[in-house]
Structure 1
Amino acid sequence: MSPWLPILMAVPVLGAIVVALLPKGSDKLAKQLTLLVSLVVLVLTIAMATQFKPNGERFQFTAVYNWIPSFGVKFGVGADGVALVLIALSAVLVPIVVLASWHDADGVQSTDGTLITPKRSVKTYFSLLLVLEAMMIGVFAATDIFLFYVFFEAMLIPMYFMIGSYGGAQRSYAAVKFLLYSLFGGLLMLVAVIGLYVLAGKGTFMFPELIGAIKDPTTQKWLFGGFFIAFAIKAPLWPVHTWLPDAAAQAPAGAAVLLVGVLDKVGTFGMLRFCLELFPDAAKAFTMPVVVLAVISIIYGAIVAIGQTDMKRLIAYTSISHFGFIVMGVFAMSQISQAGATLYMVNHGFATGALFLAAGFLIARRGSPHIADYGGVQKVAPLLAGFFLVAGLAGLSLPGLSSFVSEFMVMIGTYSSTAFGAGALTVAAVISAVAVILAAVYILWMVQRAMNGPTVEPVKAFKDLNLREVLVLAPLVALIIGFGFFPKPLLDVINPAVTKTLVNVHVDNPAIAEKGAGQ
């Protein structure tokens, strides 16, 4: 057994306890300690990743401990290539979010200049960040399905308090809506998890042992439905998406980054890992309905984003469109589409994270999320405007930036998939390409309105990015550009895991990503 993953979860939990127990008035120390702990987790993650063997055993760094022996529940963790890149995404984003959130718990300034005071202390906010990091690592690492469910639900708690206690004026409404949607999906998944345990007759919740355990197609369809609806809400996929714009708009910028950049990926990760491999016949039967929902999400999210006047809501709707691409790539069931979908999960986290944080810095200076309240920012804050532009261009998948590689792989993989015949998937890929044009409209419109044109009076007093803010955005932009030109290191890790997924789903597709996509 390997200690890597248990240690990666234990370090932020212990850090959260220490931060929470700091004496009153230790706000600065709480921030510094949280940053230090998150950097330790990042270093440990990098060290673990260097030992990963892409063509070795599927699940590596495994550790299994008895948890509830009478029900066959184990604390089982391990990482394949897909889980590893998402754990790495979490480890990269958390220290960036900590640094970006340095003043998020101090209060939010509204448009009229009043300060919206948080309900809880600064040290509580940063301890919640560390608890959330442990949960994010755990949900991607879990190889016991019951343990996955526990982490799936437990993640809601810190995020609920981060939105409800430290968010904007409508934070309570947004937090409750987020919680209710997620709990409803989690309840359906719990029923499906129990059904899987009983009907499989294996006496275990361990994922590798349950692959192929359910043979009856009708049973597969019912269990698939329970898992899929929960994941569709988490992703979110149209029409169960309405909680996201409210939650993202009201959450502090750093919390919004983790919500959209990592937590929502649990939905698409779950579809790829559990829906496909545990219920392959049902996944094939529902492929076209799911792809139709994905295409609607792609187009709907892009069109609605164009009409938004709130910067954070606009970014949230763009993410609904992007998640549609990811779901389409997963269910197209070709090597290149699923590799592209996994890569999209990572690159979307970097691109949307940078855009949310740049928007957060703007809002902190002006006190308003409304695009109409800005104008001419590039004249007084060229660094901020420049980072905002690059993050926006990554959001519209400009060639040379990381999102382009992912989106291109998903579309070409869907177009060329031989899993279910060329017709319907080809049409889906062609329709989804319309979103590329729509993305240019909503991103460039926002950049034009906020960054260019005459400088409005309140913007004239803006200060450009300080050193802390540059240190927040620079790593994300570097990753966006770096993986835009050289995605091969990520694809080398992702491709073998995707191949094994397709084998378990009994789909025979030419591995066209293995050779060409990473070059």
Structure 2
Amino acid sequence: MTAAMLYAFAALTRPSPAPSTVPGANIFTSAFILSIGIWAPVLMAFVIGVLPNPRGRYDTLIKQIAFFTNLIVLFILFVAYNQFQNFLPTLQYEENRQWLPAIGAAYHLGVDGPGILMLMLSALVGIISVLASTGIRTRVRSYFALLLLAQSCVTGAIAAHDLFVLVLFWSAATVPLALLILGWGGPRRDAAAWRLVGYWGAGTVALVLAVAGIYVATGGTSFDMEVVLKAPLGARAEVIIGLALVIAAATRLPLFPLHGWVRDVYSDAPIGVVVVVASSASRLGAYVLLRVLVAGEPDGAKLLAPLIAGLAAITVVYAAIAALRSSDIRHAAANLALVPCGVTALGLAALTPLSIAGSVLSLFAGGMASALVVSVFATLSDRAQTRNAMVLTGLAARMPKLAWLTVLAGLGVLGVPLMASFTANEMTFFGAFRTQPVGAFAV
């Protein structure tokens, strides 16, 4: 029920258009808000790592530390979200400090509208992932330390406004997530972990090549997005760089045919890890497309739009067919979780203000819906001790709360009315029909 309550909360909250009149506005005016969100989990992961825990004596304390760390980060980011000024054209909560001046890399953080929404998704998912991990009984200290590190990497990738820093956080997120799957996953955890490393590693290579291309094409003096994404590159260079960005995003979001890691990871990863991967971690793919390709490479985005729309349409159609044909409920949930990914990508491909706004909302609503559907089906299979859909028929009377949560998860993924994903889908479709009618119709 906690996940459902948080999902309902996500559907109702919006940033204030007039932060100066909001109760509690300007509580946090420090330029260190984003750094707190990134490095507080790292600090507490270190504390958990060095905390003595003979024979699991302090397992409960470790879980409480992880929970309250995420709760504090959520509170800070919620206040920042509440006092966020929608109509400012500049970055907010910005930090910019020299780091590697020889190559032009800086510790540059900042968020705009999509960024603050993604930060809220990451913070909410952090709470849910800890609550979903209360059943962990072995090597508790290592598990929660790695979970906090993974959440920190995701937050850092969202807040980064320097391409060098973005690549570091993007690639670093793979390590703790793969170790969590390898150490606490199901029977096929080895295959799941290595598939995640393989696909996400390939995506990281593509992102590195794209960033290197941007860096060289703009003179090789800065990685700052404010500088390099405003420099003209030419249509040919933008298409080549854009293709690398699409590959990077398609492995992470994911999109067909680079979705090969999804079924194994969503089926065999621990529930708390699945929540992170299915929501905030995977949405980094679409976020990078939005932040770098759509915003910074307009010619490349226009030329690659039909390709992205086609991949989005194929992903949604494939996911629907595969989910219907699957008798394993965790495999079905993994396929259903791909549907919001396709909708988000379609909105970015359409390149209209309405579709992009819908895609941004889909980052949040679709991320929550995907996390909910995979976690609910994983919980159901664990409690019933089976994944066979035919065996699970008739369990609603015995598990009424879980049954209603399952219905809510399915409705959220499909985007029915009264769900936040419905608004996102409608905005995306209406915006996409103007420029990508075939892709919009297929989705």
RMSD: 1.4
Alpha-carbon deviation of 1:375?
Answer: 2.4
Could you say which residue in structure 2 is the equivalent of 1:208? 226
Q: Which letter maps to 1:136? A: V
TM-score, length basis structure 2: 0.90
Alpha-carbon deviation of 1:429?
Answer: 1.6
Secondary structure of the corresponding residue to residue 65 of structure 1:
strand
- 1:79 maps onto 2:126 in alignment: no
Alpha-carbon deviation of 1:169?
Answer: 0.1
Could you say which residue in structure 1 is the equivalent of 2:3? none
Could you say which residue in structure 2 is the equivalent of 1:13? 42
- 1:431 maps onto 2:442 in alignment: yes
In the alignment, which of 365, 386, 390 is matched to residue 368 of structure 1?
A: 386
Find the aligned partners of 1:182 and 1:71 in 2 and give their Cα distance.
Answer: 26
Alpha-carbon deviation of 1:341?
Answer: 0.9
Q: Percent identity?
A: 29
Could you say which residue in structure 1 is the equivalent of 2:97? 65
Alpha-carbon deviation of 1:323?
Answer: 1.0
Could you say which residue in structure 1 is the equivalent of 2:68? 36
| Unmatched tracts of structure 2, length 5 or more | 1-29
Secondary structure of the corresponding residue to residue 109 of structure 2:
strand
Q: Which letter maps to 1:4? A: I
Alpha-carbon deviation of 1:161?
Answer: 0.8
CA-to-aligned-CA distance 1:364-383 (integer Å, 9 cap, x gap)? 22222222331222211212
Could you say which residue in structure 2 is the equivalent of 1:50? 82
Which of structure 1's runs of 4+ aligned residues deviate more than 6 A? none
- 8 Å CA contact 1:358–1:384 kept in 2: the answer is yes
Secondary structure of the corresponding residue to residue 57 of structure 1:
coil
**How many residues matched?**
411
CA-to-aligned-CA distance 1:257-303 (integer Å, 9 cap, x gap)? 11011111000111111012222111111111221121111111111
Find the aligned partners of 1:74 and 1:17 in 2 and give their Cα distance.
Answer: 25
CA-to-aligned-CA distance 1:113-151 (integer Å, 9 cap, x gap)? xxxxx6xx1111111111111111110100000100001
Alpha-carbon deviation of 1:207?
Answer: 0.3
Could you say which residue in structure 2 is the equivalent of 1:323? 341
> In the TM superposition, what are the counterparts of 1:148-163 in structure 2 within 5 Å?
148-163=166-181
Alpha-carbon deviation of 1:68?
Answer: 1.2
Alpha-carbon deviation of 1:363?
Answer: 2.3
> In the TM superposition, what are the counterparts of 1:262-277 in structure 2 within 5 Å?
262-277=280-295
Could you say which residue in structure 1 is the equivalent of 2:327? 309
Find the aligned partners of 1:57 and 1:333 in 2 and give their Cα distance.
Answer: 19
Alpha-carbon deviation of 1:39?
Answer: 0.4
Q: Which letter maps to 2:426? A: F
Find the aligned partners of 1:301 and 1:385 in 2 and give their Cα distance.
Answer: 22
Find the aligned partners of 1:355 and 1:238 in 2 and give their Cα distance.
Answer: 20
Alpha-carbon deviation of 1:361?
Answer: 2.5
Find the aligned partners of 2:90 and 2:349 in 1 and give their Cα distance.
Answer: 21
Alpha-carbon deviation of 1:322?
Answer: 2.1
Q: Which letter maps to 1:336? A: L
Label 1:344 to 1:332 Cα distance change in 2 as closer, same or farther (>3 A): same
Label 1:370 to 1:390 Cα distance change in 2 as closer, same or farther (>3 A): same
Could you say which residue in structure 2 is the equivalent of 1:102? 134
Could you say which residue in structure 2 is the equivalent of 1:234? 252
Find the aligned partners of 2:154 and 2:52 in 1 and give their Cα distance.
Answer: 28
Could you say which residue in structure 2 is the equivalent of 1:174? 192
Could you say which residue in structure 2 is the equivalent of 1:3? 32
In the alignment, which of 280, 291, 295 is matched to residue 313 of structure 2?
A: 295
- 8 Å CA contact 1:202–1:210 kept in 2: the answer is no
CA-to-aligned-CA distance 1:159-186 (integer Å, 9 cap, x gap)? 1011111111000011001101111121
Secondary structure of the corresponding residue to residue 396 of structure 2:
helix
Alpha-carbon deviation of 1:188?
Answer: 2.1
Label 1:361 to 1:289 Cα distance change in 2 as closer, same or farther (>3 A): closer
Alpha-carbon deviation of 1:305?
Answer: 1.1
Q: Which letter maps to 1:281? A: D
Secondary structure of the corresponding residue to residue 78 of structure 1:
strand
Could you say which residue in structure 1 is the equivalent of 2:369? 351
Find the aligned partners of 1:297 and 1:271 in 2 and give their Cα distance.
Answer: 17
Find the aligned partners of 1:208 and 1:20 in 2 and give their Cα distance.
Answer: 37
Secondary structure of the corresponding residue to residue 213 of structure 1:
coil
> In the TM superposition, what are the counterparts of 1:372-451 in structure 2 within 5 Å?
372-417=390-435, 425-432=436-443
Find the aligned partners of 1:56 and 1:355 in 2 and give their Cα distance.
Answer: 35
> In the TM superposition, what are the counterparts of 1:455-470 in structure 2 within 5 Å?
none
Find the aligned partners of 1:13 and 1:42 in 2 and give their Cα distance.
Answer: 15
Find the aligned partners of 2:347 and 2:355 in 1 and give their Cα distance.
Answer: 5
Secondary structure of the corresponding residue to residue 75 of structure 1:
strand
Find the aligned partners of 1:357 and 1:129 in 2 and give their Cα distance.
Answer: 16
| Unmatched tracts of structure 1, length 5 or more | 107-117, 418-424, 433-519
- 1:132 maps onto 2:150 in alignment: yes
Alpha-carbon deviation of 1:334?
Answer: 0.8
- 8 Å CA contact 1:214–1:278 kept in 2: the answer is no
TM-score, length basis structure 1: 0.77
Find the aligned partners of 2:271 and 2:59 in 1 and give their Cα distance.
Answer: 19
Q: Which letter maps to 1:13? A: V
Work out which of the two has the higher radius of gyration on C-alpha atoms and give 1 or 2: 1
